[in-house]
Amino acid sequence: QQPVQSPQAVILREGEDAVINCSSSKALYSVHWYRQKHGEAPVFLMILLKGGEQKGHEKISASFNEKKQQSSLYLTASQLSYSGTYFCGTAATDKLIFGTGTRLQVFP
Amino acid sequence: DAGVTQSPTHLIKTRGQQVTLRCSPISGHKSVSWYQQVLGQGPQFIFQYYEKEERGRGNFPDRFSARQFPNYSSELNVNALLLGDSALYLCASSARQIGSSYNSPLHFGNGTRLTVT
Predicted confidence (pLDDT) per residue in B64-92, tens digit: 999 999 999 999 999 999 999 999 999 99
Beta strands in A26-80 (DSSP E): 31-36, 43-48, 54-57, 60-65, 70-75
Domains of chain B: 5-116 (2.60.40.10)
The total of other beta-carbon atoms located within 10 Å of residue B87's CB is 20
Q: Say what the pLDDT of residue A64 is.
A: 87
Model confidence at A55: pLDDT above 70: no
Q: How far is A79 from chain B (nearest CA, A)?
A: 22
Q: Using an 8 Å CB-CB cutoff, list chain A residues near B48.
A: 94-95
**pLDDT average, residue stretch A29-49:** 90
Cα–Cα dist B25/B71, whole Å: 9
> What residues in B contact A44, CB-CB < 8 Å?
105-107
Residue A56 has pLDDT above 70, yes or no: no
Average pLDDT over residues B15-41: 95
Is the Cβ pair A43, B108 closer than 8 Å? yes
Nearest chain A alpha carbon to B49: A94
A49 touches B at CB < 8 Å: yes
Q: pLDDT exceeding 90 applies to what percent of chain B?
A: 86
Any idea what the CATH number is for the domain that residue A76 is in?
A: 2.60.40.10
Residue of B nearest to A42 (CA): B108
Structural domain boundaries, residue A57: 4-107
Q: Check B102 against A94: CB less than 8 A apart.
A: no
How many domains does chain A fold into? 1
Distance CA A44, CA B107 (A): 7
Place A54 in a pLDDT band, splitting at 50, 70 and 90. low
Q: What is the mean pLDDT of chain A?
A: 89
pLDDT score recorded for residue B73: 97
User: Which residues of chain A are within 8 Å of residue B35 when distances are taken between CB atoms?
Assistant: 98
Instruction: Name the pLDDT band for B95 (thresholds 50, 70, 90).
Output: confident
Mean pLDDT of chain B: 94
Question: Residue B110 and residue A47: Cβ atoms within 8 Å?
Answer: no
Please tell me the least confidently modeled range out of A40-44, A57-61, A67-71, B31-35.
A57-61
State the DSSP code for A14: T
Q: Is the pLDDT of residue A11 over 90?
A: yes
Residues 59-88 of B with CB under 8 A from A: none
Question: Tell me, what's the pLDDT at A93?
Answer: 81
The pLDDT assigned to A32 comes to 92
